[in-house]
Structure 1
């Protein structure tokens, strides 16, 4: 009887030791920071949960995404995928919840009314160059990672109107009067929402798009 108890205790100790070895070896259930495997769909902070609640109240369609770690400092944490914000948007991938919330507000209350009142037509599509990309800042020699590397930025390139016109940042920034006015109005609207807004006036790397992100502590609008 005593011998049987010793065997069971030894088995428990060996099992606990084996589990510890697996955890230290990276074989446990924690996030794999090299492979990009997902961890959990649950938001990791009260602030993140509040952002999701605020986004739901807007009435738009979206889905929360699992946290992912891609190596090299690149990640997509507390991100969502926007599915339907009222106006179709191309190339949207993972976006941090705060970025998504600001983008929805900008599209609804900045871009859509500006198209209607300045260009005289409804906005039916927003074109972007995407959101997440594991890369450094464009046109910056510091080697610092872009906010795109954290799914915290979006690049907007053009706007399609119901009457068939396409207003691109590349051609319209120095285009006719109405295109110029429209792009500058929505640029200024973005500056009231996002922490960083970059236009063709910033540098050559942004000659064909607006860059919006929620990085940093202050605000920068150019």
Structure 2
């Protein structure tokens, strides 16, 4: 999954199929472990677009362990990808309360920021994106969040600066790259914001 999402994959289609195969294998060994369910649901959502199964697994993961950062974090991404940003925000907030200094907090903050964009809560998206950026300045998705939210608010210079920072971290990033890595998600306002911010439709040459 990470090979696909982070752009490391040589054969993206093979990696997607392999990720799903390994999820099925893991679940055949133990389908009642909350950490396994958390990783499985987010993988199915990202690489297979199987939101119905992913949501069911995410809900089961948090029911099995309501104190698991991993479970709430995964549930946040699954609900975001499934087009339910309000529930995604609630999940990310719960996970952050569970582990307020987690080393992967920047990923949750970015997910929450992207969900805020889809809710048209652009100021809150910027706050979340900036927190994510401060925690991990090399995390490209934080700049995706910032660029889109800033562009929606008409802060064009700041949005272009965020795009510039994004391309410093990930020089191959373009709108088609985002869609190719993460699949056709329900994040239409994020894509619209990236276009307003001046991000290239295709990967820069």
TM-score, scaled relative to structure 1: 0.26
Whose radius of gyration is greater, 1 or 2? Answer: 1
Higher helix share: 2
Report the TM-score, using the length of structure 2 for normalisation. Answer: 0.28
Structure number with higher strand proportion: 1
